[in-house]
Structure 1
Amino acid sequence: MRDRTADNRTPDKSDESLLTLIGQLPAILSNLVKAEINNAKTQLAHKGKYAGIGAAFFAGAAVFLFFAVGVLVAVAILALALVMPAWLAALIVLVAFIIIAAVLVLVGLRFFKKINEDPSPIDNVKEDIKAVKGVGQYDR
C-alpha cells in the first residue's frame, strides 16, 4: 500500500482510524481555544477603540457646555444690567454652543453604539460547542 502523502495529496479522512482522530482532538481543541482567545482580544480592542472615540466626543461636548454656561451667565448679566441688544448677541452665542454640544453628543453616541456590533466570544464558544455536538447551523 502506497503512502498518499508522498505524492502531495492529503490523506482521506475516511482512511484514518478512530484512534488517530481521537489523538488529534487535543490539538484541535487547543487551536480552537487559542482562536477564541485571539477573537476575544480583537473584540476588546474594537470596543476600546470606539469607547475612546466616543469618550473624546463627550469630552468635546463637555467643553462646549462649559463655555455655554459662561455665555448664559453673560446673557443674564447683560439682559438685567443693560436691557440692550448686546444680550441678544450673547444669547445667539449660547444657542450656537448648545447646538454644537448636541451634535458632538449624538456623534459620540453613534460610536458607543458600535461597541457591541460584533458577536461576543461567549456566543462563538456556544456555536463551537453546538458544532462539536452536531447541533445547529455550521459548515460541514
Structure 2
Amino acid sequence: MTYTLNDRPAAAPRVQNPITSPATPVSERSTAELVRLAAEQISTLVRDELKLAQIELTQKGKRAGVGVGMFGGAGVVALYGVGALLAAVIIGLATVMPAWLSALIVGVVLLAVAGLLALLGRGQVRKAVPPMPQETVAGVRADIDTITASVKHGGNR
C-alpha cells in the first residue's frame, strides 16, 4: 500500500509553505523567524512521517499475523495427512507381514530420518554461533580506527 500526504493523521497539521503562507511576505521576515518556521515544519514533517510509518507497520503486522496463523493451520493439517499416510503404509505392509512388524519397520525408518535431520540441523546451528554479525562488527571497528587515526593526524597539524 502506498501512503501519501492525504493519508496524514487527522490530528497532524499540514506543513505551511513559508513563501505562500498568508502571514507575512518572505522578504519581510527575519532570518530568525524563517529558521524557527523551518524548524517547526521539519518537526511536523518528521512526526507525520513517523506516524505514517507506525500505521504502515501496524497494518503489515496484522497481515503477517494472519499469514502466520494460516501457515500454522496448514502445518497442523499436513501433520494429520502425514499420520494418515503412515497408517496407510503400516496397513499396506501388514498384508505381507505381521502388523506389529510393519509398524516397527515404519517407526525405525522414521526415527532414522529424524536422527539424520537432527545431526544436519546441529551442524547448521554450530555454523551460525555466535549470533553476532562478526564481519559487520569488524567493519565498524575498522571504520572507528580509521576515523580515530584521521582525527589524531588532523589534530597534530
TM-score (norm 2): 0.42
| Greater relative CO, 1 or 2 (CA 8 Å, sep 6+) | 1
Q: Which has the higher helix share?
A: 1
Give the greater-gyration-radius structure (CA).
2
